[in-house]
């Protein structure tokens, strides 16, 4: 259970992640808004409470790992990392500029705190499984977190990794499915319906539960439960809204990659601050 | 084949994506066996047509984010008589579905037209993970695969219409944005036959894709410096028009290749193979120097990866200087 004070703190953190994400995209005037906004609450719980990391030592051996397999959500992760102190706030203005340390998709060679390079969908969970297996072999206690998109889960490689993780009892691996019901072209239901993740994952011998992905306490409680080491990999299916918290993007079908004008960004940030 | 080159090479008003979408939907209306498959990047090339997906039942299909399965499925569709075109960004066609293209496609005599969009630096802000400098390289050793890179919208339309009639495996690496107009409406192109789009006697620039426009600019600069450069649009990268390469080597005695791709196993390598085996003359390659891509705008990326007219000029002078008296 989170204290009221902690909940308030995480709410504030999530809000700041959203504000900086919108602000980042406004510099160039476009970005992957939808999928960045839907994971901000998760990022708040991870970096604000659950994850053992040290901003001064991004490569710290004892750290927990985060693989954001839906690499196009990079800007949201950059906001969290910057707020946490991994790199100066000023970097956020350089998203997608020539020679930037913050490219549109997560790149571990460029950004302190990014553990694995992603962007070509469907590859992150296998890498996460490899890291989790190595940590188990080495009897290391780190937690390995991985975020995939609901559309991304259509890549067959995910399901190979899901089988592998169960077979190898990777109970140090926690998978988050950002179930925002939309992908690039349309709703996931219209293109390739993935429902139900929970049933699918359970039938693949994972422990899985579904929570409201914008309820900080529910996310935190689900992670607490998923941290048990019972021989099974764990999945938390987050029911989310694509574009959540960005006034001009939320609840719009075509909000995957959109233009972001300075005025729109200001209005959206005002709305968040209200 | 009868080409009419444009007088001015300004940007086309239509994007390449619009040309493709218009052409393929018209083809689907004419022939119900023609299909267009997408892997959740439909909006990026088919644009508003994706909102009319119900107008093309059994023809326009969004498979979801599963490129390998899409291409395997396309091969199955072709085995059962359909004529599928399958699109994704070039890296997700050439890298992600590489073995499906080889086994289910080429080895099995399938009839699938692969459209890989945003080649090379055209991936721009999508950055290194999406910026294929190696798609041609990854596919060039596949027997039974034809590889093409349309130069502008007039050519794209002509090639797509031809592919609807031709049987076999084809990979089309294709820009989505507007590109410089090189040809006038009414030009016809023969797959496997390169076009001489500017005559010259001292050196030949063999280019493909967006590098053709850069080659024309380079030829102009070279002219001012007293070097007469021929420009060849080698839009079919495989099978290469070997006859044209040999002819240019013989007549101009020096070659420069220019491609929006790695200098390894793309157009430049293909030309070098032919030159070395038939008529050794100096060759210089303009292309990406075995490095990964990164984010940026097109102008920045052109400079960053040395893909400008100025880079071609330097190499052309070097090649001409290496000619034996
Ligand atoms: C292998 C691969 N195929 C296609 C793409 C292009 N792409 C980027 S994001 C996206 C949609 C992702 O949908 P989803 O996983 O649901 O992400 P979210 O809704 O969270 O943005 C697509 C098709 C890609 N990056 N990688
Ligand atoms: Mg989604």
**Interchain contact A121–B (C-beta under 8 A):** yes
Mark yes or no for CB contact B129/A186 under 8 Å: no
Residues of B carrying an active site annotation: 67
User: CA-CA distance, B112 to B68, in Å (whole number)?
Assistant: 13
Mark yes or no for CB contact A120/B300 under 8 Å: no
Pairing of strands B145-148, B169-174: parallel
**Domain coverage including residue B123:** 15-174
For residue B39, report the distance from its CA to the centre of ligand 1, in Å: 9
| A to B CB pairs, distance under 8 Å | 88
User: For the segment B264-307, what is each residue's pLDDT rounded down to a tens digit?
Assistant: 999 999 999 999 999 999 999 999 999 999 999 999 999 999 99
Tell whether B260 and B166 lie within a shared domain: no
Could you tell me which residues come within 8 angstroms of residue A48 by beta carbon, excluding any fewer than 6 positions away? Answer: A9, A10, A13, A14
Work out how many domains chain B is built from and give that number. 2
Query: Which ligand sits nearest to residue B97's alpha carbon?
Result: 1
What is the ipTM score, two decimals?
A: 0.97
**B5 part of a folded domain:** no
Listed by start position, the domains of chain A span: 4-273
Overall pTM > 0.95: yes
Tell whether B137 and B41 lie within a shared domain: yes
Tell whether B28 and B153 lie within a shared domain: yes
User: For the segment A70-110, what is each residue's pLDDT rounded down to a tens digit?
Assistant: 999 999 999 999 999 999 999 999 999 999 999 999 999 99
Tell whether B212 and B70 lie within a shared domain: no
Tell whether B161 and B22 lie within a shared domain: yes
DSSP A72-97: GGHHHHHHHHHHHTSS-GGGGGGTT-
CA–chain centroid gap for A129, Å, is 16
Could you tell me which residues come within 8 angstroms of residue A3 by beta carbon, excluding any fewer than 6 positions away? Answer: none
Closest CA to A121 of A67, A191, A179, A69: A69
Region A45-67 average pLDDT: 97
CATH classification at residue B159: 3.40.50.970
Query: Which ligand sits nearest to residue A181's alpha carbon?
Result: 2
Chain B residues in contact with A123 (beta carbon < 8 A): none
Residue whose structure tokens are 């980042």: A24
Cα distance between the two ends of chain A? 27
pLDDT of B319 reads 98
Of the residues B126, B145, B174, the one at which a domain ends: B174
User: CA-CA distance, A206 to A201, in Å (whole number)?
Assistant: 5
Of the residues B174, B204, B219, the one at which a domain ends: B174
Ligand 1 pocket member A35 (CB < 6 A): yes
pLDDT of B202 reads 98
Ligand 1 pocket member A120 (CB < 6 A): yes
Ligand 1 pocket member A38 (CB < 6 A): yes
- B171 and B114 in contact (C-beta within 8 Å)? yes
Helix, strand, coil distribution of chain A in percent, nearest 5: 45, 15, 40
CATH classification at residue B202: 3.40.50.920
Percent of chain A with pLDDT over 70: 100
**Substitution target from B21, B64, B93 for chain A, most A beta carbons within 10 A:** B64
Cα distance between the two ends of chain B? 36
- B91 and B64 in contact (C-beta within 8 Å)? no
Low-confidence ranges of chain B (pLDDT < 50): none
Whether the pLDDT of residue A189 is over 90: the answer is yes
Tell whether B34 and B170 lie within a shared domain: yes
Long-range pairs for B48-55: beta carbons < 8 A, 24 or more residues apart: B49/B21, B49/B25, B50/A185, B50/A186
Tell whether B199 and B302 lie within a shared domain: yes
**B8 part of a folded domain:** no
Superfamily of domain A4-273: Thiamin diphosphate (ThDP)-binding fold, Pyr/PP domains (3.40.50.970)
User: For the segment B230-264, what is each residue's pLDDT rounded down to a tens digit?
Assistant: 999 999 999 999 999 999 999 999 999 999 999 99
Tell whether B206 and B167 lie within a shared domain: no
Tell whether B153 and B294 lie within a shared domain: no
Could you tell me which residues come within 8 angstroms of residue A207 by beta carbon, excluding any fewer than 6 positions away? Answer: A226, A230, A232, A233, A234, A235
Structure tokens at B86: 């399958």
Structure tokens at A161: 């990794």
Could you tell me which residues come within 8 angstroms of residue B56 by beta carbon, excluding any fewer than 6 positions away? Answer: B25, B28, B36
**B67 part of a folded domain:** yes
Tell whether B145 and B20 lie within a shared domain: yes
pLDDT of B325 reads 62
User: CA-CA distance, A52 to A41, in Å (whole number)?
Assistant: 17
**B184 part of a folded domain:** no
Tell whether B304 and B212 lie within a shared domain: yes
Ligand 1 pocket member A244 (CB < 6 A): no
Tell whether B100 and B222 lie within a shared domain: no
Could you tell me which residues come within 8 angstroms of residue B30 by beta carbon, excluding any fewer than 6 positions away? Answer: none
Mark yes or no for CB contact A120/B129 under 8 Å: yes
pLDDT of A119 reads 98
**B4 part of a folded domain:** no
């Amino acid at each position: 259970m989170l204290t009221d004070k902690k909940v308030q703190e995480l709410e504030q953190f999530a809000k700041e992640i959203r504000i900086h994400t919108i602000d980042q995209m406004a510099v160039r005037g476009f970005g992957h808004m939808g999928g960045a906004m839907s994971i901000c609450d998760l990022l708040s719980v991870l970096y604000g409470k659950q994850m053992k990391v040290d901003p001064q030592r991004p490569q710290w051996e004892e750290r927990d790992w985060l693989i954001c397999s839906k690499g196009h959500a990079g800007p949201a992760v950059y906001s969290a990392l910057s707020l946490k102190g991994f790199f100066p706030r000023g970097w956020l203005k350089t998203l997608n500029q020539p020679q930037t340390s913050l490219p549109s998709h997560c790149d571990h060679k460029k950004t302190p705190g990014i553990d694995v390079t992603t962007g070509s969908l469907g590859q992150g969970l296998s890498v996460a499984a490899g890291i989790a297996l190595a940590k188990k072999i080495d009897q290391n206690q780190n937690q390995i977190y991985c975020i995939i998109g609901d559309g991304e889960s259509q890549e067959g490689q995910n399901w190979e990794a899901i089988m592998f993780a169960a077979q190898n009892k990777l109970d140090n691996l926690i998978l988050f499915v950002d179930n925002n019901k939309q992908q690039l072209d349309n709703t996931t239901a219209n293109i390739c319906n993935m429902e139900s993740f929970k049933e699918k994952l359970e039938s693949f011998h994972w422990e899985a539960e579904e929570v409201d992905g914008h309820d900080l306490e529910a996310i935190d409680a689900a992670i607490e439960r998923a941290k048990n080491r019972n021989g099974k990999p764990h999945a938390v299916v987050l029911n989310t809204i694509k574009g959540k918290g960005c006034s001009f993007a939320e609840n719009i079908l075509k909000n995957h990659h959109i233009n972001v004008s300075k005025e729109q960004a200001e209005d959206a940030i005002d709305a968040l601050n209200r | 084949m009868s080409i009419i080159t444009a007088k001015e090479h300004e940007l086309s008003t239509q994007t390449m994506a619009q040309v493709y979408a218009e052409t393929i939907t018209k083809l689907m209306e004419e022939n119900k066996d023609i299909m267009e498959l997408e892997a959740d990047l439909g909006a990026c090339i088919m644009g508003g047509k994706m909102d009319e997906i119900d107008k093309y039942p059994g023809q326009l299909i969004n498979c979801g984010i599963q490129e390998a399965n899409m291409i395997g499925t396309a091969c199955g569709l072709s085995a059962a008589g359909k004529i599928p075109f399958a699109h994704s960004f070039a890296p997700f066609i050439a890298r992600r579905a590489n073995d499906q293209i080889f086994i289910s496609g080429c080895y099995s005599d399938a009839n699938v037209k692969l459209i890989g969009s945003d080649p090379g630096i055209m991936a721009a802000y999508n950055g290194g993970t999406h910026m294929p400098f190696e798609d041609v390289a990854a596919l060039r050793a596949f027997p039974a695969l034809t590889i093409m890179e349309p130069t502008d919208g007039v050519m794209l339309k002509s090639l797509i219409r031809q592919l609807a009639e031709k049987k076999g495996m084809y990979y089309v690496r294709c820009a989505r944005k507007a590109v410089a107009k090189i040809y006038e409406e009414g030009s016809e192109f023969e797959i496997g036959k390169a076009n001489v789009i500017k005559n010259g006697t001292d050196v030949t620039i063999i280019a493909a894709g967006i590098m053709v426009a850069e080659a024309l600019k380079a030829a102009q600069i070279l002219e001012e410096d007293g070097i007469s450069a021929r420009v060849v649009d080698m839009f079919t990268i495989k099978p290469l028009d070997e006859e044209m390469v040999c002819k240019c080597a013989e007549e101009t005695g020096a070659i420069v290749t220019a491609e929006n791709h790695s200098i390894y196993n793309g157009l430049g390598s293909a030309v070098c193979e032919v030159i070395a085996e038939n008529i050794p003359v100096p060759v210089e390659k303009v292309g990406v120097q075995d490095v990964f891509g990164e984010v940026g705008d097109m102008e920045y990326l052109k400079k960053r990866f040395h893909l400008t007219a100025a880079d071609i000029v330097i190499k052309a002078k070097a090649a001409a200087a290496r000619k034996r008296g």
